[in-house]
Amino acid sequence: GLVVHYDVRGAGTVVRRRETVHAVDGVNFALGTHETLGLVGESGCGKSTTGRSVLLLERPTAGRIRFEGRDLATLGRRELAGLRRRMQIVFQDPIGSLNPRHTVGQLLREPLRVHHLVPKAQQRERVQELLALVGLPADAVSRFPHEFSGGQCQRIAIARALAVEPRFLVLDEPVSALDVSIQAQILQLLTDLQNRLGLAYLFIAHDLAVVGQMSDRVAVMYLGKIVEIADRDSLYARPHHPYTQALFSAVPVPDPTRRREPTRASVTGEVPSSLAPPPGCRFHTRCPLAQERCRVEEPLLESVGAGHEVACHFAEQAVRDHPVGVSRPS
């Protein structure tokens, strides 16, 4: 039931009114140990806000966040700090997320010191362990972030997140700022680390191809709500929601034997403002299947198969008319 609203000053009018941004509006999901949930959608749909709120980096307006069975809202400061340590985040901009005045050694030692995890005498060794874990050379320790490429900086950011031995990482577009060849290396590193350390990932991205490669399950967000959530294979084979289908029709399919003409134009029109989300189904202003009912009645997530839920009044019709899944045989 995660809700994140915040007030902003309206722009462009003489008298500036307070307006409310509906960034996240009732999002529910569970994430298992060693599992990756992909969170996908256009920019501004509330993916990052969801990720940050789960870690309490942004204050939820309403809703409950449980981690390892504990409701975070019920914990005292010390207990919360202990649990929060086990939940870390890696951001999109690897260079901007690292303090340029600190050496890599300082950057990696800081979380060790703050959390009193490793005695001072062993910190040097632990830093070397972390560098090896993310595939950086030992001499990186005395160098500064600007001496590294974007991909290497993302390795440093990952090492820093891992320094405190988390169980769960929010990965907020961790490869979106990188070249495609570097993206593949970082994704491989994240997969290896997950297998080695048994991590759970909330993997945020706007790119369905990347999300499909990384995720066990995928949730599609539109204007602050999850509109479809399913096992990766089920979602990619049979996307039910017209918005998910539109996202897929915009994905280039690299295998030519699987290439198919998009059965529907990729989603057109502007994303409505999250200051005033449309009534009924929030997607109705852009949906090619929209009917009168969609303008007045909000569709709720309903099961269309094992572990596959869709929020659309006409989901069955959508999947019948437009089987655009990318892994279905042509």
Name the binder of 287 from ligand SF4, Mg ion, none, CB < 5-8 A by kind. Answer: ligand SF4
Q: Nearest-CA neighbor of 102 among 144, 137, 138?
A: 144
Q: Binding residue for ligand SF4 (CB under 6 A) from 54, 178, 219, 294? A: 294
Q: Which stretch binds ligand SF4 (CB under 6 A): 60-68, 150-158, 164-172, 312-320?
A: 312-320
Name the binder of 160 from ligand SF4, Mg ion, none, CB < 5-8 A by kind. Answer: none
Q: Which stretch binds ligand SF4 (CB under 6 A): 10-18, 150-158, 246-254, 281-289?
A: 281-289
Please give the single-letter amino acid code of residue 235: L
Place of tokens 């400061």: 77
Alpha helices for the chain (secondary structure H):
47-54, 77-85, 104-114, 120-133, 150-162, 180-197, 208-214, 232-237, 242-249, 292-296, 315-321
Tokens of 259: 């290439």
Nearer to ligand SF4 (CB atom), residue 131 or residue 294 = 294
Residue 290 binds ligand SF4, judged by CB under 6 A: yes
Nearer to ligand SF4 (CB atom), residue 232 or residue 241 = 241
Nearest-approach distance from CB 316 to ligand SF4, in angstroms:
11
Nearest-approach distance from CB 282 to ligand SF4, in angstroms:
8
Four-residue CA torsion sign, 286, 228, 38, 66: positive
Beta bridge partners of 27: 2
Distance CA 104, CA 123 (A): 13
Q: Binding residue for ligand SF4 (CB under 6 A) from 240, 284, 308, 322? A: 284
DSSP string, 100-143: TTS-HHHHHHHHHHHTT-S-HHHHHHHHHHHHHHTT--GGGGGS
Q: Nearest-CA neighbor of 227 among 304, 282, 305, 307?
A: 282
Residue 225 binds ligand SF4, judged by CB under 6 A: no
Residue 312 binds ligand SF4, judged by CB under 6 A: yes
Tokens of 158: 């990952």
Count Cβ atoms below 10 Å from residue 118 Cβ, excluding itself: 20
Give the Å distances, CA to CA, from 136 to 130, 133, 179, 270. Answer: 9, 8, 18, 42
Tokens of 220: 């599609």
Q: Which stretch binds ligand SF4 (CB under 6 A): 120-128, 140-148, 288-296, 321-329?
A: 288-296
Residue 49 binds Mg ion, judged by CB under 5 A: no
The 238-267 contact track toward ligand SF4, x by CB under 6 A, reads: ---xx-------------------------
Q: Binding residue for ligand SF4 (CB under 6 A) from 27, 158, 199, 289? A: 289
Name the binder of 267 from ligand SF4, Mg ion, none, CB < 5-8 A by kind. Answer: none
Residue 130 binds ligand SF4, judged by CB under 6 A: no
Residue 215 binds Mg ion, judged by CB under 5 A: no
Place of tokens 């290896």: 192
Distance CA 29, CA 307 (A): 12
Q: Binding residue for Mg ion (CB under 5 A) from 22, 23, 37, 48? A: 48
Nearer to ligand SF4 (CB atom), residue 109 or residue 238 = 238
Q: Which stretch binds Mg ion (CB under 5 A): 46-54, 139-147, 191-199, 208-216?
A: 46-54
Residues 28-67 touching ligand SF4, rule: CB under 6 A, are none
Distance CA 222, CA 232 (A): 18
Nearest-approach distance from CB 314 to ligand SF4, in angstroms:
4
Contact residues for ligand SF4 (CB under 6 A)? 241-242, 281, 283-284, 287, 289-290, 294, 299, 312-314
Residues forming contacts to Mg ion in the complex (CB under 5 A) are 48
